[in-house]
A and B are shown apart, each in its own frame.
Chain A
Amino acid sequence: MSVVVPRTLTDALRAMAANPSALLLQGGTDLMVEINFNHRKPVDVIALRKIHELRAVKIDGETISIGAGLPYQEMESGQIAELVPALGQAARTVGSPQIRAAGSLGGNLGTCSPAGDGLPVLSALDAMINLRSANASRNVSIHEFMVGVKRNAKQPGEIIVSATVPIVRGWQGFAKVGVRNAMVISVASCCLVVDRTKGSIAVALGAVGPTVIRCRQAEQWLSTNVDLKQDAMIGAKLAKEFGERVANEARPIDDHRGTAEYRRHAVATLASRLLQRSGAR
């Protein structure tokens, strides 16, 4: 097994071009588990952890671009948590402190599990994912990036460089159900973002379908029933119906972490609560 440890993105892309089948290693919180369980036997690995460019955070006033290798612990508080509170909240739910010191959005995107905690936030914010290869750079919408269960649109030779999300005026939040109070894989999660400027709402669900699910119909229904440009209280009845409509768009399954029925119920409850929180003063 060969391991390349590039110091710059250019070197990493060059190594990738030379060996497009090499596995990319960022924090290792997914990959090392798979290797330990012998589910994967990588021949060549390119380790990205020494590349500072992949941890860069760029803010241009309207958007914030977060390096794919920035560990979650950097998002739990500080500037990112202030500008994108839902991402800060999602980051806090990821694993243990050790995992948050290693895990990153790049890892969530690369693995592309529907239970990846950062993904509902990226989906609700219509994130653009920057992918680079030795001789090209392209931006892909998160919605096109996530293709299926643990499948994404990344091509051989490409590295996930960053995720860019808008800085939205309005309320946003993330909530996640697990069977213990910390360090747990999502049974169901929900991110809700209200854009007061556009008068729109976005809801994305985690762990209730093959990929993260955006609830376009529920969003549409709400924005025709409520003037989201106004900072308005949301009634319990409306919130409940919204939750039910959100749940109708979920496609949960039964597994050892929970039943489909419970997952559907949980996302209805979470969406309804987040909507009410968005209007609370």
Chain B
Amino acid sequence: MAKVTGQFEFSSDLHAENMLWGATLRSPHPYARIANIDLSAAYKISGVEAIITAEDVPGKKTYGLISSDQPVFASDFVRYMGEPIAAVAADHPETCRRALAAIKIDYEVLQPVTDAELALSPSTKPIHPDGNLIRHQRIIAGDQNLQGEVVVEGVYEVGMQDQAFLGLEAALAMPDPGGTGVEMWVATQWLHEDRKQIAACLGLAESKVRLTLSGVGGAFGAREDISLQVHCALLALRTSRPIKMQYGREESFFGHVHRHPAKIYIRHHASRTGVLQRIEAKMYFDGGAYASTSSAVLINGVTHIQGPYKCSNATVDGYAVRTNNPPCGAMRGFGVVQACYAHESQMDKLAQACNLSPVEIRLINAMQTGDKLITGQVVESVAPVARCIRETDAIAMPAPLALDADPLELVGGTGLTSLPENIVRGVGWGVSIKNLMYSESFDDFAVARCQLSDGVATLKYATVEVGQGFVVLAPQIARTILGVDEVVLDTVDTGIGSAGSTSASRQTWMSGGAVDGACRLVRQRLFEHVGAKFNIDPMRLVVEDTDIVDMIGDFRISVIEASTGVVIDETFEHHHRPTEELDANGQGNCHVAFAFVAHRAVVDVDVELGLVKVIQIATAQDVGRVLNPVAALGQIEGGIAQGLGLAIMEEIVLENGKMRNPSFTDYLLPTALDAPKVVAVMIEEPEPQAPLGAKGIGEPPCISVTPAIAAAIRDATGKELPRVPIRPQDICL
């Protein structure tokens, strides 16, 4: 509500008395050796208080989510366009800008390595001491020589998508007196991970770095990595003044990681009747200059390449590669988006080869609970794949294109390019499997604390709200369990244990589980208190609406009355079940749980001009249990818009490592006229492993909608279209 009325304080609204502004100097070159940095002219500018470079980093000079390979400031080489080299603090953003312009850097410009496959060639020199291969993972499962009666293959490519959150990066850092520590307000996805990396670079104990969540305007993975946090803290400690940093839209494109571009060579073997028998794949993920989460993205890619289908035999090689392109890391769907585009394109080819419909081929192969993945892991999650497909199929198709339709509703929209006679309608399918939570033995636990007193429950956790709705869900859990009306949400900060990242569709499950656990402990204590006071066995007490009642007798007391004058305070730490690393052959129980979804896209295509309008997306999603219907639908509609973007318009255009479109003028996001009608069915089969029966729902909506739209365009045009986003010239030339 605060966001709708404009009352919400985003991180860019942060302000402190006596604060200075910070700004970052970035490389204009994708690859260059830094010969010399001359700060003298910049220091002469009145109002400049500090200029810092790599030399001024007191602690670790590098940071990174998985491997610490990214310099806080580049000192010897710059490896991507936009890499930070220095930061300034000054009395005004304009002074900062002048200071940045006055810093003289001599570059020896080098030829950038921008092709992932080429980067791995023995003749390509490593562009980083860690080498150009970030990670290689194989999956070897079953019969390695099996040849199917039907074999289909393809080479699929996915372009670089940006998370394009609306609330730009911003932070405020306040130094402790004497520079012994720092307090920061940041918009991030994971406070504790940020703190760990910031403290290491500052050379301070973690306890000396205190983080409070500031208003986040969207994240989608782009706030998992550090952006301006270390720079801001360093400037604050250097100047002993509060520092505010914020990026503009252009800088934001250079300041955060993107979705990995990928190239996937893939071959499917099947029986004549369409039963999938073996998958061979070679997958290249372009990680850009630094590792970020590339190795985890790769694992998601290779372990999801079979899709939501049974398959016993596989030969998969995946490579996460370093290039001089912008660094790539987490984005909604995390490696599965790329895999899904490839496997769903293949399923359609297989259907055609076996003379089956897209629905038939998917139903024949649909995975169920108990099936074994190509990693050897058994799917223990509820797996209603066939039901997702059937219920999607049952959704009514949209009305045919009306000859007298409002021109704005036709392909081309306001451009008035197309009349009904120019338009062909197509239908396509996409189905996906997505892991939930972190994988490969990572214990991404979540902590929550609940305090009950005088009928008011106070919840404390470090769970980041990025727009997913945990601020609604957490009180809802507390009200349901404790029978209270009033729930107060404490500040989200590092004053409590970690909640893990708001990513991997995990917070409802993990932090929801922690809030649920803490509230249950409090309720138990309250029952004990009431039982002792009124001499009733606490085992007989239950919460009914806002009262505590005796299940057997007549006793009834309101929760408010029962908790008056007492303070009950409990903390709960929720862990998901442990997972394993993959072995050299890609075998192991590496994932916690899975969610499934089906999408059917109906599109109108102006075949001659190559223009597309998505008319309807029908979807049935395996959600476990719906906790908040409006929030759930919001996730589904938003994810579909993001997947639509990747299918037909969203791409960071790179030319020899240089970004050509770092603005919302040319990086196109879907508008209201591009967003389709969404008809969603939520499949509720409660997940036994999940604390609330609810699966994560954030990522699945954006995964298989992209291949569904691509398939629908293929249906309308007859073209193979092996690359997304599909551009007009791909359709009509």
Q: Which A residues contact B (CB, under 8 angstroms)? A: 36-38, 89, 92-93, 173-185, 187, 189, 255-259, 261-262, 265-266, 269-270, 273, 277
Q: Which of A36, A93, A178 has the most CB of B within 10 A?
A: A178
Q: Which of A89, A184, A262 contacts B610 (CB 8 A)?
A: A262
Q: How far is the CB of B426 from chain A (nearest CB, A)?
A: 17
Say yes or no: A261-B414 contact (C-beta < 8 A), given A256-B660, A273-B422: no
Whether a CB of chain A sits under 8 angstroms from the CB of B16 is: no
Interface SS of B by simple majority? loop
Q: Give Cα A273 to B660, complex, Å.
A: 32
Contact A177 B413 (CB under 8 A): no
Q: Which B residues contact A (CB, under 8 angstroms)? A: 97, 248, 250, 408, 411-417, 419, 422, 608-611, 613, 648-649, 653, 655, 660-661, 665-666, 668, 670-674, 727-729, 732-733
Contact A184 B613 (CB under 8 A): no
Contact B609 A256 (CB under 8 A): no
Q: List the B side residues contacting A38 at CB < 8 Å.
A: 97
Say yes or no: A93-B728 contact (C-beta < 8 A), given A180-B668, A181-B674, A185-B666: no
Please list 15 pairs of residues, one from A and one from B, whose beta carbons are closer than 8 Å in the complex, sorted by A's number. A89-B416, A173-B416, A177-B415, A177-B417, A179-B611, A179-B728, A180-B668, A180-B671, A181-B414, A181-B415, A189-B415, A257-B666, A262-B610, A269-B609, A273-B422
Q: Give Cα A147 to B307, complex, Å.
A: 57
Q: Give Cα A185 to B415, complex, Å.
A: 11
Contact A258 B668 (CB under 8 A): no
Contact B674 A269 (CB under 8 A): no
Contact A180 B728 (CB under 8 A): no
Question: Which 5 pairs between the two chains have the least Cβ-Cβ distance?
Answer: A181-B413, A256-B660, A181-B673, A262-B729, A176-B415
Q: Give Cα A187 to B649, complex, Å.
A: 13
Q: How far is the CB of A176 from chain B (nearest CB, A)?
A: 4
Residue of A nearest to B731 (CB): A262
Q: How far is the CB of A205 from chain B (nearest CB, A)?
A: 14
Interface SS of A by simple majority? mixed
Residue of A nearest to B645 (CB): A180
Contact A269 B608 (CB under 8 A): yes
Q: Give Cα A258 to B611, complex, Å.
A: 13
Q: Which of B412, B666, B728 contacts A256 (CB 8 A)?
A: B666
Residue of B nearest to A182 (CB): B673
Q: Give Cα A92 to B668, complex, Å.
A: 18
Q: Give Cα A189 to B609, complex, Å.
A: 12
Say yes or no: A177-B412 contact (C-beta < 8 A), given A183-B671, A258-B729: yes
Q: Give Cα A178 to B609, complex, Å.
A: 10
Q: List the A side residues contacting B608 at CB < 8 Å.
A: 269
Say yes or no: A258-B728 contact (C-beta < 8 A), given A173-B416, A269-B608: yes
Q: How far is the CB of B534 from chain A (nearest CB, A)?
A: 63
Q: How far is the CB of A255 from chain B (nearest CB, A)?
A: 8
Contact B250 A37 (CB under 8 A): yes
Q: How far is the CB of A153 from chain B (nearest CB, A)?
A: 27
Q: Give Cα A176 to B415, complex, Å.
A: 4
Say yes or no: A177-B666 contact (C-beta < 8 A), given A182-B414, A262-B733: no
Q: List the A side residues contacting B732 at CB < 8 Å.
A: 262, 265
Q: Give Cα A184 to B733, complex, Å.
A: 22
Q: Give Cα A174 to B415, complex, Å.
A: 8
Q: Which of B97, B416, B655, B670 contacts A176 (CB 8 A)?
A: B416
Q: How far is the CB of A252 from chain B (nearest CB, A)?
A: 12
Q: List the A side residues contacting B248 at CB < 8 Å.
A: 36
Say yes or no: A261-B668 contact (C-beta < 8 A), given A176-B415, A178-B415, A269-B609: no
Residue of B nearest to A178 (CB): B415
Say yes or no: A266-B653 contact (C-beta < 8 A), given A173-B416, A181-B673: no
Contact A179 B649 (CB under 8 A): yes
Contact A180 B609 (CB under 8 A): no
Q: List the B side residues contacting A173 at CB < 8 Å.
A: 416
Q: Which of A184, A255, A277 has the most CB of B within 10 A?
A: A184
Q: Give Cα A45 to B85, complex, Å.
A: 35
Q: Give Cα A89 to B413, complex, Å.
A: 11
Q: Contacts A176-B417, A180-B673 known; list 4 others, CB within 8 Å.
A: A179-B611, A180-B671, A256-B653, A258-B727
Q: List the A side residues contacting B733 at CB < 8 Å.
A: 261-262, 265
Contact B416 A174 (CB under 8 A): yes
Contact B666 A93 (CB under 8 A): no
Contact B665 A180 (CB under 8 A): no
Contact A175 B415 (CB under 8 A): yes
Q: How far is the CB of B490 from chain A (nearest CB, A)?
A: 38
Q: How far is the CB of B114 from chain A (nearest CB, A)?
A: 16
Q: How far is the CB of B733 from chain A (nearest CB, A)?
A: 6
Contact B671 A181 (CB under 8 A): yes
Residue of B nearest to A256 (CB): B660
Q: Give Cα A182 to B673, complex, Å.
A: 6
Q: Give Cα A50 to B311, complex, Å.
A: 70
Q: List the B side residues contacting A89 at CB < 8 Å.
A: 416
Contact A177 B674 (CB under 8 A): no
Q: Give Cα A266 to B610, complex, Å.
A: 9
Q: Which of A36, A182, A262, A269 contacts B671 (CB 8 A)?
A: A182
